[in-house]
Amino acid sequence: MKSLKLASWLAWIVVLALAWSVSAAEVEGETCDAGQAKIKMPPKTRRALLTSNGLSHDAIRAEFVRLVRLRQPDLDKARVVYVPDAIVAEGTPFTNDLVDEFRRSLGPLGISEVSAIELASSSREEVEASLAQADVVYVECGNTFYLHYHMAQKGVKSILDPLLDGGLVYVGSSAGSIVAGMTAEIALWKGWDDPTVVPKLPDYAGLAVLGAKSFFPHYSSQYKGLVESKRSSVSHEVLTLTDSQCFASDEVSGERLVG
């Protein structure tokens, strides 16, 4: 009789364990709508710094350095990959001078190992190889739709997802912050960027770097009414960023607005 009771208890333990594992798998594999696309949510806190104007303020630079050190404690060994497509779309040529200028901007922070990859002129294999060796990917400002299109064409989300889960730091400036969200549709709200520079895609699904959040950079009081009227058009949180703010995320301090 005791053996039967023991077997019964063991059976219940197995059932409960299976139920817990299924529940955990559902949380880690949670999906969310981004327009017509279904996007899988990241299973854990990722490292990201989303800005309106890049590393333009002391507080933002301090957050950047802190995040980089989580990945690579020796800053002079930190490898940064620069993605300039958005600014190239607005007429800035992709040249060594552009990359050198970006490298010089990181010099005072102790970082000098910078390479660049232009998505538009590179193969998927080249993009994958470039990002795989990065500690930080820095996605520049400019035309959001041009950037989003070439990210979609090269399958950047599927390349980045495992790298981000492995500790890669994502840094976005303006357009780079918008595409990091659930949807790049946010770029339509102000109408600053021309969507006709590239063929129209079926949807504006973003990278969902931080899960079910999208980002509205260059926010000020003049856009308060616009944002409030548009928020209901998306099914997830939209965070606003002024030109002096950043949204930072990491496994140590969690997610927070700085500035």
Q: Give the pLDDT confidence of 210-251 residue by residue, as tens digits.
A: 999 999 999 999 999 999 999 988 989 999 999 999 999 999
DSSP structural state of residue 138: E
In a domain, 18, yes or no: no
Q: Is residue 246 part of a domain?
A: yes
Domain assignment present for residue 106? The answer is yes
Catalytic residues: 174, 218
Q: Residues 8-36: what's their mean pLDDT?
A: 40
SS3 call for 159:
helix
Is 143 a member of any domain? yes
In a 3-state reduction of DSSP, which class is residue 170? strand
Looking at residue 201, its pLDDT comes to 94
Q: How confident is the model at residue 29 (pLDDT cuts 50, 70, 90)?
A: very low
Give a yes or no: residue 28 inside a domain: no
CA distance linking residue 234 with residue 54, whole number of Å: 26
**Quick check: is 2 in a domain?**
no
Angle (nearest 5°) at CA 116 between 114 and 122 = 155
Confidence of residue 44 (pLDDT cuts 50, 70, 90): confident
CATH number of the domain encompassing residue 125: 3.40.50.880
Task: Tell me what the pLDDT averaged over the chain comes to.
Answer: 88
Tell me if 167 is assigned to some domain: yes
Residue 26 is predicted with a pLDDT of: 32
Residue 174, phi then psi, degrees to nearest 5: 55, -100
Q: Is residue 130 part of a domain?
A: yes
Domain that residue 109 falls in: 42-258
Residue 8 has pLDDT above 90, yes or no: no
- Does residue 11 surpass a pLDDT of 50? no
Q: Say how many domains are in the chain.
A: 1
SS3 169: strand
In which band, very low, low, confident or very high, does the pLDDT at 23 lie, cut at 50, 70 and 90? very low
- Residues 143-164 have a mean pLDDT of 98
Say which residue, 13 or 108, is predicted with more confidence. Answer: 108
